[in-house]
Amino acid sequence: MIADVVLGLQHGDEAKGKVTHQLCAKGNYTHVIRFNGGCNAGHTIYHEGKKFVTHHIPAGVFYGVESIIGPGCVIDPKQFFKEIEELEEAGIPASTLVSVAKNAHVITDSHKDEDSKDTKIGTTKRGNGPAYRDKYDRKGIRAQDTPCLKDFIIDIYEELYSKPNVEILFEGAQGFGLDIDHGDYPYVTSSHCTTAAALLNGVPPQAVRNVWGVAKIYETYVGAKRFQPDDNVFDTIQKVGEEYGATTGRVRQCNWMNLNTLKKAVRMNGVTDLVLNKMDVLRSVGQWKVYNNDKLLEFKNEEDVKSWITSHMHMSSTQLSNIYFSGDKDRI
């Protein structure tokens, strides 16, 4: 068994879906597994000239790869079937490729009603938090006990350990900056967004080959806390980068990238391959700035900031092998 992991290193919206999609196109994966979160995720994927936004469905379906919603996820059946229908209409055979781990938990209408009343955290109001609470309170509803999902239910142990040459790509949701333990609590999501969380879906640590950490060359955040400084440049970045939440449509607050928090995320998740997206946005804006040790550093040009980031990231992490600077919405 071999496993690669894709996870976000900031506050979500880093283009994890794009990276997963590209790896599926180039790799030999037998399974793609969503390992955390629920329909609060919104992964934007460009496939054969068309734009897709998935909330539950793993990106493996676009390349005919068995795609599993893992036991670490919570699932809204209504949203699940809506996505299946939309993908089928677009010619993607999702209904034959997607399965749901029997021990994933279900988001109910009451969970969504409760979540809709949130005014403190700035949640997506999709019911994820209440569903996870009921899971840990041991009163939740599992997918295997939900009749409408019966045709999609699998035992993930039997699926992964009864077949030869299994090669898994784990697709994470949200980002390390929103992790329930390591994020800026209480402004966090309700699940774990780490490499370790991927392993909780049934894979031993020694199976992990590569960990793809995904971030932006600047940072964005959607939620209740104040994140964006008073500077008109961030309004420009929002417009050029089309910074609107894929799930909620809310405007994303923007700020310069913080290298210290990026180093922390890379180290704690054992990242081997780092992808920094949205280079094209700052190229258009014409400013290159990075926070380091609470100081805002400004660089003359793109090559200077790339060289500086590359040097500092490699010095901070012995396991980091590759850094990719991407300015393309559908390619690494």
Residues 6+ apart with CB under 8 A from 150: none
Q: Within 10 Å of residue 236's Cβ, how many Cβ atoms?
A: 16
Based on the residue annotation, tell me whether 13 is a catalytic residue of this protein: yes
Q: Which residue among the candidates 11, 31, 43, 105 is catalytic per the annotation?
A: 43
Q: Which of 4, 11, 13, 273 is catalytic?
A: 13
d(CA 245, CA 265): 22
Q: Is the peptide bond before 205 cis (omega within 30 degrees of 0)?
A: no
Amino acid at site 1:
M
Whether 43 is a known active-site residue: answer: yes
Cα–Cα distances (Å) from 62 to 15, 74, 171, 313, in that order, read: 16, 22, 14, 33
H or E stretch covering 282: helix 279-285
Judged on CB neighbours under 10 Å (0-12, 13-18, 19+), 84 is buried
Give the pairing type, strands 153-154 and 253-258: unpaired
Active-site amino acid positions = 13, 43
